[in-house]
Amino acid sequence: MLGAWFYLYEVFIENYVSYPAFNIFSHLAAVDDRRMDEVAIAQVLEKLYWLMHDESGCRTLFSALADRENGECDAFWNMWLADKRTTSIIQHWFKTADAIEGISEDKKSWMRDASDSRLELLRPLAVTAAKLWLTKKGWGDIAYLDKSEFQVWFLKGYRSMDEQENLPEELSNWAWGREDGFALMSADEIEDLAGWAQLPKTAHWYTGLGWTLSQASQAEPARAQHILGLAIESDADAWVAMEAMATSIGNEGQYERAIAWIQKALDALLKTPNSSGIDSFLLAHVARWNQNLGDHTLSLEISKTFVTHTYATAERILANIPSPRAWNKNQASLPAAHSYVCALIQAEDWPELIYLLEYLSDMDNGYGATYLAKYFSDYNPPLQIGRACRAQGQPGFVLDALDEALQLVEQSGNDSSLVGTLMVFGELQYRFYDQDDTPVRLWEEALSRLSTAGTALSQELAHAKAICINLSAQVYFDLAVQNHRARAETSEAVTKLKSLATTTSMDPDGYDDVFFFYTTGYPSLLYGRWLRDYEKAPPAVWRKCFRARILEQMDGLSDDDPTNDTAACRALAISLFQAGDRNNAGLLLAALFGSLGNYIAQNLKIT
């Protein structure tokens, strides 16, 4: 019921609110007020005053953000904060107010101030952002479906303007898809934003602040939990604060305590009007935490069932299951679907998993995308989904959903998410759909984007980049071998493999000579094998491909850290096998198995 209402509401907003909210000002700019009579100008000014000054008007502007899937947040940010064109249009109109009869002096006074100052013009919008974040009508308020992340960012942007009313450089190119979390905000800053509007510190105020603090990576969990505790002390029915408390505690690995808090939230939720379907979101947490505790059976049951009773313990959740499938009760709950997917993967129930994915692929979210594509774009599918796909005949609808999801991620403008998605989607199709062309295309795009990425993004995705390079090299090598055996052209694949295996350096003396060095990565091993086994290069040529990697791995054995010796021996053995030194590789493996045997024997004695 709630999901259906919310869907109809979003359709209404998209068609009847978003367009005028984002386009009315460009239409106003085209109007020549010199050709209008005073009555018409007064009508325009009254409407602009309502829109920019009154809370109901400001709320209408924020409601135009709709579901935030189509760049609305970026457009809103640019229109009001980053770009002065829109505000200058409104200020132009407000400058005419003094000469117009029929407008109250109070309104004229504010219009006069707003026409001279962007900060004054945007102040009511900022206050409304704070109210949307920190005030609610009750615990059944549908506004709680939105945790006001954008409103918090809008407040930060507004409060960050300098004396010239410009944004600082780090916020001038802000993007919702990249910054929708609060990684760049400190706890002190978030609390300062919450206190700026001087709103009453009700249970809802503490809940809004506590939830945001719990999502901020720089904030201490104890700080968020303290604020949430104040909300619960103020109102024993504060189920939203209880859910936030549970997720914060769960993120610390205290799963049993987290489950207990979710149970309290479920109890409070039963007394909350207009809450149908919300409990599936809460139970998704419980399913995940039970899985982390090792109770996979209970996790699976909770994931696929919807509970409408009050529960005192996790065991009673399992004992009172009245109807099948949580996601069938609330089909719009992607967290519930994700919880169910993870539980089915753990149970290796591949037929049921494919049934669930197909079910999601048949559902449209009202914006031209399937729920399966939305799930893949929001959650990045676990690679184990590929095992289900292979076991169930490699269904084509999954590939269609991956293509659709990639388009959604591209539209988000989140570079980190896009690069990660390209890598994961490529690996899934390579490992479980036996494809080469599409994975290589996705990986090449990911590597191309990383080559021009900033330092932070490069460091964040360094490990994923190495995996991507290794998989790409394997595909190039396999294609080259396949073409060689078919007596077909191999140069393209070999050239790409060599580019991954080598790095270049210019002559420091300035003679423009270019030197090639083999990297320590896996591609160098594959290129060395190609030179040795297929081009029949002399040992002096192909051994260069292995030297840097093997020397680095030998250094790993000679360092002062004994904890990495097993991994170093394993890696060195693989390299020696690739280089054709089977004797030394075999000796290393024998030593590893000997150590493993001793370890097992010692543990058997202990037990």
Measured CA to CA, the distance from residue 235 to residue 212 in angstroms comes to 19
Percentage of the chain exceeding pLDDT 70: 82
Q: What is the pLDDT of residue 584?
A: 86
Q: What is the pLDDT of residue 451?
A: 81
- Calculate mean pLDDT across residues 460-475: 85
Percentage of the chain exceeding pLDDT 90: 37
Neighbours of 300 (CB within 10 A): 23
Q: What is the pLDDT of residue 298?
A: 58
Q: Which two tokens stand for residue 432?
A: 């479980």
Q: Which two tokens stand for residue 95?
A: 């400058």
Beta bridge partners of 516: 504
SS3 label, residue 433: coil
Confidence of residue 299 (pLDDT cuts 50, 70, 90): low
Tell me, what DSSP letter sits at residue 514? E
Q: How many residues does the chain have?
A: 607
SS3 label, residue 466: helix
- Calculate mean pLDDT across residues 200-219: 90
Domain holding 576, by residue range, is 463-606
Q: What is the pLDDT of residue 296?
A: 57
- Calculate mean pLDDT across residues 188-212: 96
Phi then psi dihedrals of residue 516, to 5 deg: -100, 130
Q: Tell me if 255 sits within 8 A of 247, measured CB to CB.
A: no
Residue with tokens 């759909």: 433
Measured CA to CA, the distance from residue 156 to residue 180 in angstroms comes to 13
Q: Which of 133-142, 378-387, 491-500 has the lowest mean pLDDT?
A: 378-387
Question: Do the domain assignments include residue 211?
Answer: no
DSSP code per residue over 329-380: HSTT-HHHHHHHHHHHHHHT-HHHHHHHHHHHHT-B-SSS-BHHHHHHHHH-
Residue with tokens 């055996």: 485
Question: Do the domain assignments include residue 502?
Answer: yes
The 3-class SS string of 202-225 reads CHHHHHHHHHHHHHCCCCCHHHHH
Half-sphere exposure (Cβ direction) of 228: Cα atoms closer than 13 Å: 25
Question: Do the domain assignments include residue 584?
Answer: yes
546 CA to centre of own chain: 39
Q: What is the pLDDT of residue 16?
A: 55
DSSP code per residue over 499-559: HHHEEEEE-TTSS--EEEEE-SSHHHHHHHHHHHHTS---HHHHTHHHHHHHHHHHHHHHS
pTM: 0.65
Radius of gyration of the chain (CA): 30
User: CA separation (Å) from 292 to 225, 265, 336, 381, 604?
Assistant: 22, 20, 16, 18, 26
- Calculate mean pLDDT across residues 506-520: 47
10 Å CB burial of residue 235 (0-12, 13-18, 19+) is: middle
Residue predicted with more confidence, 595 or 12:
595
Measured CA to CA, the distance from residue 30 to residue 192 in angstroms comes to 40
pLDDT at 460 over 70: yes
Q: Tell me if 493 sits within 8 A of 483, measured CB to CB.
A: yes
Confidence of residue 507 (pLDDT cuts 50, 70, 90): very low
**pLDDT tens per residue, range 152-185:** 999 999 999 998 999 998 888 887 776 657 877 8
Q: What is the pLDDT of residue 160?
A: 94
Question: Do the domain assignments include residue 271?
Answer: no
Question: Do the domain assignments include residue 160?
Answer: no
Could you give the number of structural domains in the chain? 1
Confidence of residue 330 (pLDDT cuts 50, 70, 90): low
What is the torsion angle, in degrees rounded to the nearest 10, for the CA atoms of residue 592, residue 593, residue 598 and residue 601? 150
Mean pLDDT of the chain: 82
pLDDT at 581 over 60: yes
Tell me, what DSSP letter sits at residue 320? T
Among the ranges 457-471, 511-525, 535-549, 552-566, which has the highest mean pLDDT value? 535-549
Q: Which two tokens stand for residue 10?
A: 């979003």
Neighbours of 10 (CB within 10 A): 18
Confidence of residue 332 (pLDDT cuts 50, 70, 90): low
Q: Which two tokens stand for residue 382?
A: 């676990």
Q: Tell me if 500 sits within 8 A of 473, measured CB to CB.
A: yes
Q: Tell me if 539 sits within 8 A of 558, measured CB to CB.
A: no
Q: Which two tokens stand for residue 295?
A: 């109770």
Q: Which two tokens stand for residue 476?
A: 């190039």
Question: Do the domain assignments include residue 414?
Answer: no
Tell me, what DSSP letter sits at residue 505? E
- Residue 210 φ/ψ region, left for φ over 0, alpha for ψ in the -120 to 50 degree band, beta for the rest: alpha
Question: Do the domain assignments include residue 270?
Answer: no
Q: Which of 256-270, 389-403, 454-468, 559-573 has the lowest mean pLDDT?
A: 559-573
10 Å CB burial of residue 336 (0-12, 13-18, 19+) is: buried
Q: Tell me if 62 sits within 8 A of 52, measured CB to CB.
A: no
User: CA separation (Å) from 158 to 28, 185, 193, 302, 388?
Assistant: 24, 14, 10, 43, 48
Measured CA to CA, the distance from residue 73 to residue 62 in angstroms comes to 9
Question: Do the domain assignments include residue 301?
Answer: no
What is the torsion angle, in degrees rounded to the nearest 10, for the CA atoms of residue 338, residue 343, residue 345 and residue 350? -100
